[in-house]
């Protein structure tokens, strides 16, 4: 398993978001996965923050919009949109709801933001409500008012059984103009393939490139996908055709980027850049474990070089190295890189 930014053993997770220090309560003793702050939600929240100055997540485009977070857990991703002015419905089920309500009240309510000395946020924050939503029970849908402008889902694709129910909820709650953002941590090729196949019939899927994500909050095994509703669902054969089209778009995009001297972000087989808006569907991606292996190898080389430099520089070098690694984001990355290397050595035969 990967080492987490959040260890899941603490009762409180501290996370800075849009200049606000959030303190999220979690229950390490609960058997419910939703009572934990998962890394994919952190990556998604920081992605929204990074892209909040302009584009689809800029404050003018988010303010007053209606957003829905599915499987919200502790609510971090939805809080990012709420702090930008969206009215957010945080949804989950069962014993997750009381803790989710507590986190919303203690972090993004007007009163809480004033206590945090964030008057600007208190004036801008959107309305928030916490509600129960069981994806597998269509009767629950009546309590909501679709279509929503934004739908968020962080680490909701965790089993084959969850995929069709999540798809049903997204289809019901969204519309032609809805922006759906899904953040997944890769754990199973089977689950990942099922997600791409089922969702690819109804949506074009664009994978966010690393350079569009927060540099300190990303990982090769955590992917963010931007989904756009198709006018008509594809037949099974159409999914395969879209995959072939997407693969061709990827090759064209990579070639163009090389000619320009840049690096193309390959997004679920769809090239980063202007070609991302092409109507392509679920496509094959590079092996996530191979990507993790490459990142781990690079991290190992960098770590070895840093260690050698520290030895040569002596005590002064060691002090400087300690100072340079002081930020929480850097410590997160160090732990994640070490965990990647451990996984590579265990799971990949060289």
On whether both 141 and 238 belong to a single domain, the answer is yes
Q: Do 167 and 298 sit in the same domain of this protein?
A: no
Residues 102 and 249 in one domain: yes
Say if 83 falls within a structural domain: yes
Any domain includes 1: no
The confidence score (pLDDT) of residue 333 equals 60
342 has a pLDDT exceeding 60: no
* Partners of 89 in the β-ladder: 68, 129
Predicted local confidence at residue 76, as pLDDT: 96
CA 279 remoteness from chain centre: 22
Residue 139 has pLDDT above 70, yes or no: yes
Please tell me whether residue 147 adopts helix, strand or coil conformation: coil
331 and 241 housed in the same domain:
no
Task: Answer yes or no: is 220 within a domain.
Answer: yes
Q: Which of 116, 27, 113, 40 is nearest to 72 (CA)?
A: 40
Q: Which residue has the higher pLDDT, 49 or 1?
A: 49
**Total domain count, the chain:** 2
Domain boundary among 285, 314, 337: 285
Do 68 and 186 share a domain, yes or no? Answer: yes
Instruction: Tell me which residue of 233, 223, 279, 277 sits closest to 39, measured CA to CA.
Output: 223
Residue of 80, 70, 72 whose CA lies nearest to 38: 72
pLDDT at position 299 is 55
Residue 160 φ/ψ, nearest 5 degrees: -60, -35
Are both 304 and 235 inside the same structural domain?
no
Backbone angles phi, psi at 182, to 5 degrees: -120, 125
Using CA atoms, how far residue 36 sits from 29, 45, 71, in Å, is 10, 15, 11
Task: Return the higher-pLDDT residue of 350 and 75.
Answer: 75
Q: Are residues 315 and 329 in the same domain?
A: yes
Tell me which DSSP letter residue 17 carries: E
Determine the pLDDT at residue 26.
86
Positions of E strands within the chain: 12-17, 20-25, 66-70, 87-92, 128-132, 150-154, 179-185, 203-207, 222-229, 266-267, 270-271
> Mean of the per-residue pLDDT values for the chain?
78
Closest among 268, 151, 153, 261 to 208, alpha carbons compared: 268
The pTM assigned to this predicted structure is 0.72
Out of 132-141, 228-237, 340-349, which region has the weakest mean confidence (pLDDT)? 340-349
Residue 330 lies in domain? 290-347
pLDDT at residue 238 in the model: 61
Q: Does residue 271 sit within a domain?
A: yes
Average pLDDT over every residue of 277-302: 50
Say if residue 325 is in the same domain as residue 302.
yes
Pairing of strands 87-92, 128-132: parallel
Three-state SS at 180: strand
Are residues 313 and 190 part of one domain? no
Q: Is the pLDDT of residue 109 over 70?
A: yes
Percentage of the chain modeled with pLDDT above 90: 55
Q: How many beta carbons lie within 10 A of that of residue 161, not counting itself?
A: 11
Same structural domain for residues 252 and 126?
yes
- Position 147 scores a pLDDT of 98
- Model confidence pLDDT, tens digit, residues 261-287: 433 333 333 333 334 433 334 444 445
Question: In 233-324, where does DSSP find H-type helix?
Answer: 236-260, 288-324
Per-residue pLDDT reduced to its tens digit, 196-216:
999 999 999 999 999 999 999
Q: How far is CA 348 from CA 60, 256, 272, 290, 341, in A?
A: 46, 32, 28, 9, 10
């Amino acid at each position: 398993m990967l080492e987490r930014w959040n260890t899941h053993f603490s009762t409180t997770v501290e996370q800075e978001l849009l200049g606000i220090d959030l303190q999220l309560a979690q229950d390490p003793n609960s058997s419910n996965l939703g009572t934990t702050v998962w890394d994919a939600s952190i990556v998604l929240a920081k992605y929204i923050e990074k892209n909040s100055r302009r584009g689809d997540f800029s404050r003018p485009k988010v303010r007053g919009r209606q957003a829905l977070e599915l499987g919200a857990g502790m609510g971090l991703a939805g809080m990012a949109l709420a702090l930008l002015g969206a009215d957010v419905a945080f949804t989950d089920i069962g014993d997750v709801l009381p803790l989710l309500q507590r986190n919303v009240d203690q972090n993004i309510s007007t009163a809480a933001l004033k206590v945090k000395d964030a008057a600007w946020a208190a004036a801008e924050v959107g309305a928030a409500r916490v509600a129960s939503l069981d994806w597998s029970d269509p009767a629950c849908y009546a309590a909501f008012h679709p279509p929503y402008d934004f739908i968020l889902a962080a680490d909701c694709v965790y089993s084959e059984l969850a995929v069709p129910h999540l798809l049903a909820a997204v289809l019901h709650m969204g519309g032609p103009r809805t922006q759906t953002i899904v953040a997944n941590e890769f754990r199973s090729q089977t689950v990942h393939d099922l997600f791409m196949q089922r969702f690819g019939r109804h949506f074009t899927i664009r994978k966010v490139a690393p350079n569009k994500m927060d540099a300190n909050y990303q990982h090769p095994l955590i992917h963010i996908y931007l989904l756009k509703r198709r006018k008509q669902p594809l037949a099974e054969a159409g999914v395969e055709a879209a995959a072939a089209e997407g693969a061709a778009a990827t090759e064209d995009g990579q070639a163009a980027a090389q000619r320009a001297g840049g690096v193309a972000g390959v997004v679920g087989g769809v090239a980063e850049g202007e070609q991302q808006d092409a109507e392509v569907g679920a496509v094959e991606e590079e092996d996530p474990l191979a990507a993790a292996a490459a990142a781990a190898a690079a991290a190992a080389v960098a770590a070895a070089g840093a260690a050698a430099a520290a030895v040569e520089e002596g005590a002064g070098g060691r002090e400087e190295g300690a100072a340079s690694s002081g930020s929480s984001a850097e410590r997160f990355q160090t732990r994640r890189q070490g965990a990647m290397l451990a996984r590579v050595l265990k799971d990949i035969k060289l």
